[in-house]
Structure 1
């Protein structure tokens, strides 16, 4: 990864997605990642800038990094690759799995995430200490 911050767009009302953001923050000591909810004005503008559709019901995390936009399993695995520790190795192994299989598993989890993990009525708000990492 370059030194430029990568941006993670996530479903701001999804408990699983919010947990993933917390996980990334915890394992990203270098502060490489910035965050925006897909439902936010900033998230919608970033989707538009990268010519990605603005879904009415977000179904994927989006990673904007080094001029590329990654979605579904590719986004999740590239995010893991950018974290400290053994996560980058796990991501490398995951990238060996054919993308159609990875994305099918990703979409299955995405389809059931609200039922399994719940959802919030409003987007999660970062603490004052973390606010600088959110767009």
Structure 2
């Protein structure tokens, strides 16, 4: 698994909301900065050992940038800083909110994501066009 200088995004592969967000990131990642793996994948399990991440007790997106780990709202803000999107200013404003408040909001959504947005029986299968952005 070679990622070079790319940031790795680990996400809940069976969550409809999470998959929609990853599709948004892919479509706005003009610098081709990010690669992806679902939390349910073997790659995520390997990375969790290397970076000492407890996947069982985590209800968050995870961004691995160099050797630094970003979770919850910090992960979303890190991703947003590197996307070409008209919504980038919103993330800039959110970054000024204290972390404990941002993460409280993040956790509220994360806990209800399946009931609000549903889930799939299995992880999404990316199109051939974006398959090479996924770690296997």
TM-score (norm 1): 0.92
What does residue 114 of structure 2 align with? 114
User: 1:29 Cα shift?
Assistant: 1.6
The runs of 5 or more residues in structure 2 that have no matched partner are none
Does the CA-based 8 Å contact 1:29-1:84 persist in structure 2?
Answer: yes
What does residue 41 of structure 1 align with? 42
User: 1:116 Cα shift?
Assistant: 0.4
Q: Provide the alpha-carbon RMSD of the alignment.
A: 1.4
TM-score (norm 2): 0.91
1:59 paired to 2:59: yes
What does residue 15 of structure 1 align with? 16
The runs of 5 or more residues in structure 1 that have no matched partner are none
Q: Which moved more, 1:7-16 or 1:82-91?
A: 82-91
Q: Which moved more, 1:22-31 or 1:3-12?
A: 3-12
User: 1:89 Cα shift?
Assistant: 2.9
| Cα distance in structure 1, aligned partners of 2:104 and 2:33 | 28
Spell out the pairing of 1:114-133 with structure 2 (5 A cutoff).
114-133=114-133
User: 1:86 Cα shift?
Assistant: 3.7
Q: How many matched pairs?
A: 132
